Amino acid sequence: MTQPLPRTATTFSPPVPESRRWIDGVTFPPERPLLNVSQAAPVDLPPLALREVIAEAALNDPQAHLYGPVLGMPALREELAASIMRRYGGAVSAGQIAITSGCNEAFCAVTSTLLGEGDEALLPTPWYFNHKMWLDMIGAKTVPLKTGDDLLPDPELARALITDRTRVIVLVSPNNPSGVEYPAELIAAFRDLAREKGLALIVDETYRDFHSLPGAPHDLFTDPDWDDTLIHLYSFSKSYRLTGHRVGAVATSVARLAEIEKYLDTVTICPAQLGQIAALWGLRNLDQWVAGEREEILARRRAVEEARPVLESGGWSVLGCGAYFAYMAHSSDTPSDELAPRLVREAGVLMLPGTMFMPTDDLSGKRQMRVAFANVDRDGIAELARRLAAHGG
């Protein structure tokens, strides 16, 4: 009798480590160093003042080395609730907030409370690959929600995909991998659909602090009953350069947090104290610094837009651009999962193929690539465009 596969064997290998193996044995000459646009994580250090806070806590705060509350430090939960209210309006309490070990864990914890064996989640494509991997590993079915030429999902198309096994709709805005920002009215339409159908709506705003529009990206928190449908995810990692400290957050109902607590207590027991101390200090002191980071990311976004003519001269087109990402299409006959390793060797560019963000039966991924440009300055983006155009798409 055939034995069922262990859950980890039901999904694909992690894309970023896989892409790093393409570099093995490749020499990059000084005049053409590697342009690594594969991973959406800041590589620069946190600001000095924040590092000093972490160092002080590590040296002199005994609590920094002990277990803390499963759902996170009370002071951080309070501060994040206040921050959400300042940005979005509405009413959010600390009792509706959990701190997690990164936003990936927030997604895993939330979906573990929503989905049983064979239950369904709607994910717009191209999707964030770790979301798909986790749904595979818990035995859930991922239902692809195709997006249009503008890479925006359609609520009415989503409606047609809902079955009696559908439990959740997942949105990521600004989107990973496409960079596209979902308009407030579109997010609200998905909230209305989810509420009508008795579903949860997960809105992952990991890259919220790099949105191109000032003010709140949506008004969902102003609904007094927001937590009957909305589950909001956030990451401190990108905003404060705390990727190695793994600090994320969930805003949801008190009842759902009771279920999330079971997951967190089993998997991590509590979020790391030093990361939480850093996040709390950042919320209280780094608004102006984050605003400067946002302006730099927006300048890099403009650099991508300005590079369109060069890219187009080599057969590349920009499908979406925003936050940390540009999502591109190429005109080559070579599928993107073959083209991407070749670009490492032939152009000194490491980027991820669209096949890593698409169902295997969706051939559009064969002509798409994701560029994570947050760690490449404006001159580097211009150089990237020249290399891609010279290589040809």
Q: What is the pLDDT of residues 62-99, one digit of tens each?
A: 999 999 999 999 999 999 999 999 999 999 999 999 99
Long-range contacts at 299-303 (CB < 8 A, ≥ 24 apart): 299/378, 300/373, 300/374, 300/376, 300/377, 300/378, 300/381, 301/179, 301/212, 301/373, 303/373, 303/378, 303/381, 303/382
Residue 284 has pLDDT above 70, yes or no: yes
Q: What is the mean pLDDT of the chain?
A: 96
Distances (CA, A) of 30 to 35, 283, 377: 12, 41, 18
Q: Give tens-digit pLDDT for 132-153.
A: 999 999 999 999 999 999 999 9
Average pLDDT over residues 21-25: 94
Residue 112 has pLDDT above 80, yes or no: yes
Q: What is the pLDDT confidence band of residue 40, given thresholds at 50, 70 and 90?
A: confident
Average pLDDT over residues 154-164: 98
**Preceding peptide of 174 cis, ω within 30°:** yes
Structure tokens at 315: 């057969």
Q: Give tens-digit pLDDT for 377-392.
A: 999 999 999 999 999 8
Domains (range + CATH), the chain: 7-45+290-391 (3.90.1150.10), 48-286 (3.40.640.10)
Residues with Cβ within 8 Å of 374's Cβ and at least 6 positions away in sequence, in order, are 40, 41, 42, 297, 300, 323, 324
Q: Give tens-digit pLDDT for 196-211.
A: 999 999 999 999 999 9
Average pLDDT over residues 58-65: 97
pLDDT at 1: 66
pLDDT at 143: 98
Q: What is the pLDDT confidence band of residue 42, given thresholds at 50, 70 and 90?
A: confident
Question: Order of strands, edge to edge, in the sheet holding 352-353?
Answer: 316-322, 325-330, 368-372, 352-353
CA 349 to mean position of chain CA atoms: 22
- Proportion of the chain above pLDDT 70, given as a percent: 100
Question: Order of strands, edge to edge, in the sheet holding 200-204?
Answer: 97-100, 248-251, 230-235, 200-204, 166-172, 120-125, 141-146
| This model's pTM is above 0.85 | yes
Q: Give tens-digit pLDDT for 184-240.
A: 999 999 999 999 999 999 999 999 999 999 899 999 999 999 999 999 999 999 999
225/340 Cα distance (integer angstroms):
46
